[in-house]
């Protein structure tokens, strides 16, 4: 071979190798390229071997060129290899065993409603379907609304029913009028003060009590208040409404029981229970072997409370209730510790996804 055809051959090999390399998109193809060009029987290797057949005086220059071609292609090969390793695609990998495209994909985790939120929404929906409007109110409340206007005067022993978290702001007269609301009942007053009867509201929201926590007590929990005021509202309306609620949440067969209880802002006051859905009233662990489960406090709005907001108790009457949202959720889902709701353990929270 003379010098010209040797150099042309070298040139052709280089062009072909480089253009082939740019097309390569997988490590498998890259490996066969390497074997074709730089392998033991590859074209570049053949070029180097061919040097010995050239006239002696040309060998030096041709050899130098062939060697730099080999080095240049090796460098390009390395660069392309690291490029492919960083950007492997299903197409580029599917020829190897490293990726099984028939495997099921990974699940994408999606968030879900917190069980308390889900329960609150479900409960409010039931009352909305009966004509109640869902509203919310402040969590930092005035003593007046949390207690006084609810017929709980200062120094009244009934205040002990609610252990309060006071806001550290003492007025010049020594009074501390702000606290974290201990129940959602202040919204009864705020609602009646801001509108005329008829009133039908349901008020979900956070409430706070200065209490030690255990399986059934949290210092922060969620209540759902309800209030209906109109002409001719009787205890029968209270019973009918709350019984219907119990059936919609706990099942068609549920019976409700109303027994006397005391809350300063209602007269008469009642504790509302349902017959145990677990044992059908026979007695079990869920109902503490009584056959009944208490689900809320309720009663007819006290005439003094109506008077206080400017409603004439001779014309208007009403009923109110207050229930713990977590308690309802615990009963519905068989959860035995209220602290689960606020510990943010994903394994717990996940169970309630719909
Ligand atoms: N606010 C009462 C409580 O927190 C519950 C209640 C509300 C009772 C409305 C009667 C009427 O214990």
**pLDDT, tens digit, 9 for 90 and up, residues 203-216:** 999 999 998 988 88
Domain that holds residue 311: 115-352
Same-domain pairing of 32 and 74: yes
The reply to whether 289 and 260 lie within a common domain is: yes
- In a mutational test of the pocket of ligand 1, which residue from 233, 265, 301, 306 has the highest number of ligand atoms less than 8 Å from its CB? 265
The whole-angstrom separation of Cα 226 and Cα 249 is 16
104/112 Cα distance (integer angstroms) = 23
User: Among candidates 10, 7, 9, 2, which has minimal Cα distance to 69?
Assistant: 10
Asked if 338 and 245 sit in the same domain, the reply is yes
The one catalytic residue among 320, 325, 327, 329 = 320
Residue 88 is predicted with a pLDDT of 58
Q: Does residue 121 sit in the same domain as residue 63?
A: no
- Residues 96, 80: Cα–Cα separation, whole Å: 18
Domains contained in the chain, number: 2
pLDDT digits (tens, 9 = 90+) for 239-282: 999 999 999 999 999 999 999 999 999 999 999 999 998 888 88
- Contacts with 234 (C-beta within 8 Å, 6 or more apart), sequence order: 317
- Give pLDDT tens digits for 76-134: 898 888 888 876 555 555 555 567 778 888 888 888 899 999 999 999 999 999 999 99
Residue 232 Cα, ligand 1 centroid: separation in angstroms?
22
Q: Are residues 45 and 189 in the same domain?
A: no
Residue 103 resides in a domain: no
Together in a domain, 16 and 60: yes
The answer to whether residues 127 and 228 belong to one domain is yes
Look at residue 170 and tell me whether its pLDDT is greater than 60.
Answer: yes
For 312-350, write each residue's pLDDT tens digit.
999 999 999 999 999 999 999 989 899 999 998 988 998
Question: Is residue 328, in this structure, part of any structural domain at all?
Answer: yes
Contact 184, 322 (CB under 8 A): yes
Give the CA distances from residue 159 to residues 135, 151, 162, 278, 298, in Å, rounded to whole numbers and listed in that order.
26, 10, 6, 35, 18
Q: How far apart are CA 79 and CA 76, in angstroms?
A: 5
CB of 231 within 8 A of CB of 285? no
- The more confident residue out of 315 and 23 is 315
301 is catalytic: no
Q: What is the CATH number of the domain that holds 231?
A: 3.30.930.10
Q: Let me know whether 123 and 272 are in one domain.
A: yes
Mean pLDDT rounded to a whole number for the chain: 90
Residues 88 and 143 in one domain: no
Domain assignment present for residue 344? The answer is yes
Name the phi and psi angles at 221, rounded to 5. Answer: -145, -170
Based on the domain organization, do 32 and 119 belong to the same domain? no
């Amino acid at each position: 071979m003379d010098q010209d055809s040797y150099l042309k051959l070298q040139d052709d090999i280089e062009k072909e190798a480089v253009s082939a390399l740019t097309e390569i998109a997988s490590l498998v193809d890259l490996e066969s390229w390497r074997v074709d060009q730089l392998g033991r029987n590859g074209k570049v290797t053949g070029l180097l071997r061919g040097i010995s057949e050239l006239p002696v005086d040309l060998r030096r220059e041709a050899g130098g060129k062939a060697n730099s071609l080999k080095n240049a292609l090796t460098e390009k090969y390395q660069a392309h290899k690291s490029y492919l390793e960083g950007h492997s695609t299903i197409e580029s990998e599917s020829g190897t065993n490293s990726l099984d495209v028939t495997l099921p994909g990974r699940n994408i985790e999606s968030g879900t409603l917190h069980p308390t939120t889900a329960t609150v929404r479900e409960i409010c929906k039931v009352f909305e379907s009966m004509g109640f409007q869902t509203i919310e109110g402040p969590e930092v409340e005035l003593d007046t609304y949390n207690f006084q206007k609810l017929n709980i005067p200062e120094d009244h022993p009934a205040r002990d029913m609610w252990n309060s978290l006071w806001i550290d702001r003492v007025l010049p007269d020594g009074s501390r009028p702000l606290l974290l609301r201990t129940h959602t009942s202040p919204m009864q007053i705020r609602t009646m003060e801001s509108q005329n009867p008829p009133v039908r509201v349901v008020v979900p929201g956070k409430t706070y009590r200065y209490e030690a926590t255990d399986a059934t007590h949290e210092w922060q929990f969620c209540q759902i208040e309800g209030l209906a005021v109109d002409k001719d509202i009787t205890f029968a309306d209270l019973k009918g409404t709350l019984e219907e609620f119990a059936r919609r949440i706990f099942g068609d067969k549920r019976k409700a029981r109303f027994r006397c209880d005391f809350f300063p802002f209602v007269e008469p006051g009642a504790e509302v229970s349902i017959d145990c859905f677990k044992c059908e009233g026979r007695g079990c662990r869920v109902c503490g072997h009584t056959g009944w489960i208490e689900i809320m406090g309720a009663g007819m709005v006290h005439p003094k409370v109506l008077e206080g907001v400017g409603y004439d108790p001779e014309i208007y009457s009403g009923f109110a209730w207050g229930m713990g949202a977590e308690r309802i959720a615990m009963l519905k889902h068989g959860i035995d510790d209220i602290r689960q709701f606020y510990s943010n353990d994903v394994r717990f929270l996940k169970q309630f996804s719909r």
